[in-house]
C-alpha cells in the first residue's frame, strides 16, 4: 500500500467512524474499483477494499517499550524424560500445598532430573527446594542478564556477579567445605548488604558452625538489625556462648522463664534433679511462657539452673505437659548446641513412644542418620504414623522395603485400605504420599502392589508420587 492509499484509508476510516460517506476521500485507484454503483454499494466496495488492505498490507508495529526477559538458564541436571511428565503432573496436581510440591520436586532431583519449566517453577522466596533450581529462582526474581557461571567459585571479587539465590547456594556449599573462607566472605561483603540479605547470609553460618565463628558472631551484637543480633545470639548459644546474662531480676527474661519451670527431686536412693513445667494460671501466662521459650537460649536457661544443657534436657520431664515439651524441643532446635540436640534426639528415640515425636522438632538440626533412625522408629511403632507427614528436612529416596516390613506398618496399611473408615483412609493417603517421597524406586513399586492387592484403587491419586517414584530409575 502506497502513501496515498494509506492517507486515503486513514481519512476514510475517520469518516466511517463518525458516520457518512467516504467515496470522495478514497484513493483514485480504489474509486475506480468502487465507482459505477449506488451510493451504498460504493461504500460497501470501499469497505471491502479497506478491510483487505488492513488485513494484508499493514503489520502491527513493535512498541518501543517491548522488553525481553533474559533467557531462562539451563540447569545442571537433565530434564525429566517426556514419557514421565504425565506422571509428574499427576503427582504435582495431587500435591496440595507448596510443601508437598517441593517433595515431588526434591524426589525428582534426588534421581538426577529437573522439571520442565512449564510444569513447575520455584517461587522467588523458595528456600526449601533443591539447590539445582537456584538459577531459576534468580530468574524469577527478575535477574536481568547472564552473570554467574556455575563452575565459578564465589569470591569477594566476583560477589556481585552472582545473583542472590546462586550466591546463597555457593555460600552454603562453601560453609560445608571451607567454613572459614565462607565466613570471611560473609564478613567482608555482608556488612554492605541490606538487613534482609544480611540476615539470610548470617543464617548460612549454621552450616559448619564452629568455635572459629565465635568472634565474628560476637561482633554482630552491634549490628544495626535486631533480627541479625538475635540470630547471631542463637548461633552463639549453639556454640555454648552465653548471651548477655541478666541480673536475675524481674527484667531478666531467662530468670522470668526459669520461674515457669519447677525444679524438683526424684528417686529414693539416688536423688535426681527434675525439671517440670510449673502450673500456669491463665492463658496470658501461657502466651508469655511461649514467648520466653522462643527468645531465650537453652544455654542461658541451663546456666540459670546451674547445670549444663545436656543435664537440663536429661532432667526435663517429657510427658508432663505437651505444650511445654514442644516449647523445650523448639528451644533446643533453635539455640541448643550440637551436643544438646543429639543428646535429646538420642535419648528420646531410645525411649520411643510419644516422647520420640518431639525429636521431629529437631529435624533441621539432625544428621541424616538420626533422621532415618527416627523415621524407622515411627514406622516400626505405627502408633504415630501420622507424625511422619509433619517431618521436615527429610531426604528423599532412601526407605527400603525392609523398613516397612520391620514392624506393623504394612499390616496396618492393608487393613486401613480394606476398611471403610474414610478418616483412616485419608490418613493412609497422606502416608502413601510421604512414602512416595521417602521410598526407593523398588520400595515404591512393591508398596503400590501391596496396597492395590489390599483393595486400593490402582489409579488412586494418592499413589501418584509412588508411581512417579517407581518409574524413576535410581541415579
Partner 1 sequence: MEFDLKTIEALAPDQASLSAASRLTKQSNWPRLEKSEQLALLWGECQGSGSNPYRVVVDTGDHGYKCTCPSRKFPCKHTLALMWIAATTPASFAAAGSTPEWVNDWLGRRRKTSPQPTGPAPGAGGKSIGEISLDDESTVVEDAAAVERREAAQRKRTQDTQSAVSAALDELDQWIADQLRLGLAGFVDNSSDRCRRIAARLVDMKATALAGRIDEIPSRLMGLRSEERPDAAIRELGKLVLLAKAWRSTPGDAELRRLVSTSENREQVLANPEAIQVESIWEVLGEKIETRRDGLVSHSTWLLNLKSASPQFALLLDYFPASAGRRSNAFTSGDRFDARLVFYPARQPLRALMTDRKGDVPSGEWPDFGFDAGDPLAAHVAHQDTAPWLTDCPVMLPPGAILLDDRGAAWWQATGDPHGIALPIADTVNPTLLGLDLTATAALWNGSRLDLLAAQSRFGRLDLS
Residues 142, 144, 150, 154: what is their CA dihedral angle, to the nearest 10 degrees? -90
Nearer to partner 1, 63 or 226 (CB): 63
Three-state SS string across 187-239, please? HHHHCCCCHHHHHHHHHHHHCCCCHHHHHHHHHHHHCCCHHHHHHHHHHHHHC
Whole-angstrom Cα distance, residue 202 to residue 217? Answer: 9
Q: What is the CA radius of gyration of the chain?
A: 33
Nearer to partner 1, 254 or 462 (CB): 462
Whole-angstrom Cα distance, residue 60 to residue 62? Answer: 6
Shortest Cβ distance from residue 325 to partner 1 (Å)? 39
Q: Which residues on neighbouring strands pair with residue 316, listed in sequence order?
A: 275
Nearer to partner 1, 68 or 369 (CB): 68
Nearer to partner 1, 361 or 467 (CB): 467
Measured in residues, the chain has a length of 475
Nearer to partner 1, 298 or 448 (CB): 448
Nearer to partner 1, 121 or 200 (CB): 121
Nearer to partner 1, 9 or 363 (CB): 9
Residues 420, 426, 429, 434: what is their CA dihedral angle, to the nearest 10 degrees? -140
Nearer to partner 1, 93 or 287 (CB): 93
Whole-angstrom Cα distance, residue 1 to residue 397? Answer: 65
Shortest Cβ distance from residue 30 to partner 1 (Å)? 12
Kindly state the cell numbers that stand for 269.
536412693
Shortest Cβ distance from residue 445 to partner 1 (Å)? 13
- Which string of b and e fits 455-472 if b means at least 16 CB within 10 Å? ebeeebbbbbbbbbbbbb
Residue 79 DSSP class:
B
Shortest Cβ distance from residue 423 to partner 1 (Å)? 16
CA 357 to chain centre: 22
CA dist 45 → 10, 12, 19 (Å): 16, 12, 16
Shortest Cβ distance from residue 2 to partner 1 (Å)? 17
Shortest Cβ distance from residue 40 to partner 1 (Å)? 4
* Residues at the interface with partner 1 (CB under 8 A): 13, 16-22, 40-41, 43-45, 47-52, 54-56, 59-63, 65-72, 74, 79, 82, 85-87, 89-90, 116-118, 121, 139, 452, 455-461
Whole-angstrom Cα distance, residue 261 to residue 252? Answer: 15
Nearer to partner 1, 385 or 468 (CB): 468
Shortest Cβ distance from residue 142 to partner 1 (Å)? 11
Shortest Cβ distance from residue 94 to partner 1 (Å)? 10
Let me know: does 292 contact 253? Beta carbons within 8 Å: yes
Shortest Cβ distance from residue 425 to partner 1 (Å)? 11
Amino acid at each position: 500500500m502506497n502513501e496515498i492509499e494509506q492517507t486515503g484509508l486513514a481519512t476514510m476510516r475517520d469518516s466511517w467512524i463518525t458516520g457518512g460517506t467516504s467515496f470522495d476521500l478514497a484513493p483514485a485507484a480504489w474509486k475506480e474499483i468502487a465507482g459505477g454503483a449506488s451510493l451504498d454499494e460504493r461504500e460497501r466496495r470501499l469497505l471491502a477494499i479497506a478491510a483487505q488492505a488492513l488485513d494484508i498490507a499493514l503489520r502491527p508495529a513493535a512498541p518501543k517499550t517491548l522488553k525481553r526477559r533474559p533467557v531462562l538458564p539451563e540447569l545442571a541436571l537433565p530434564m525429566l524424560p517426556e514419557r514421565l511428565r504425565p506422571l509428574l503432573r499427576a503427582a504435582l496436581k495431587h500435591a496440595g500445598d507448596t510443601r508437598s510440591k517441593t517433595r515431588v520436586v526434591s524426589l525428582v532431583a534426588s534421581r538426577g532430573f529437573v522439571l520442565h519449566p512449564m510444569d513447575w517453577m520455584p517461587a522467588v522466596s523458595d528456600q526449601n527446594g533443591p539447590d539445582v533450581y537456584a538459577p531459576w529462582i534468580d530468574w524469577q526474581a527478575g535477574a536481568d542478564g547472564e552473570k554467574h557461571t556455575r563452575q565459578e567459585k564465589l569470591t569477594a571479587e566476583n560477589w556481585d556477579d552472582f545473583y542472590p539465590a546462586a550466591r546463597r547456594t555457593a555460600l552454603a556449599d562453601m560453609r560445608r567445605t571451607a567454613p572459614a573462607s565462607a565466613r570471611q566472605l560473609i564478613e567482608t561483603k555482608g556488612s554492605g548488604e541490606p538487613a534482609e540479605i544480611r540476615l539470610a547470609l548470617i543464617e548460612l553460618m549454621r552450616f559448619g558452625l564452629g568455635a572459629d565463628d565465635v568472634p565474628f558472631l560476637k561482633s554482630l551484637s552491634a549490628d544495626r538489625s535486631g533480627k541479625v543480633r538475635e540470630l547471631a545470639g542463637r548461633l552463639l548459644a549453639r556454640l555454648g556462648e552465653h548471651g548477655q546474662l541478666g541480673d536475675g531480676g524481674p527484667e531478666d527474661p531467662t530468670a522470668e522463664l526459669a520461674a515457669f519451670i519447677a525444679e524438683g527431686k526424684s528417686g529414693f536412693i539416688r536423688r535426681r534433679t527434675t525439671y517440670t513445667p510449673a502450673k500456669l494460671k491463665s492463658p496470658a501466662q501461657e502466651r508469655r511462657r511461649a514467648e520466653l521459650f522462643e527468645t531465650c537460649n537453652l544455654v542461658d536457661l541451663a546456666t540459670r539452673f546451674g547445670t549444663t544443657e545436656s543435664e537440663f534436657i536429661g532432667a526435663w520431664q517429657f510427658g508432663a505437659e505437651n505444650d511445654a515439651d514442644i516449647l523445650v524441643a523448639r528451644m533446643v532446635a533453635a539455640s541448643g548446641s550440637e551436643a544438646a540436640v543429639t543428646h535429646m534426639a538420642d535419648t528420646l528415640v531410645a525411649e520411643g513412644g510419644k516422647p520420640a515425636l518431639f525429636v521431629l522438632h529437631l529435624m533441621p538440626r539432625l544428621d541424616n542418620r538420626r533422621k532415618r533412625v527416627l523415621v524407622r522408629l515411627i514406622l516400626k511403632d505405627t502408633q504415630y504414623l501420622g507424625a511422619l507427614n509433619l517431618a521436615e528436612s527429610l531426604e528423599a529416596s532412601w526407605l527400603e522395603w525392609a523398613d516397612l516390613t520391620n514392624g506393623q506398618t504394612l499390616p496396618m496399611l492393608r487393613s486401613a485400605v480394606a476398611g471403610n473408615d474414610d478418616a483412616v483412609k485419608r490418613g493412609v493417603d497422606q502416608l502413601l504420599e510421604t512414602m512416595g517421597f521417602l521410598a526407593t524406586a523398588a520400595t515404591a513399586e512393591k508398596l503400590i502392589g501391596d496396597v492395590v492387592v489390599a483393595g486400593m484403587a490402582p489409579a488412586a491419586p494418592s499413589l501418584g508420587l509412588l508411581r512417579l517414584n517407581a518409574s524413576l530409575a535410581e541415579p
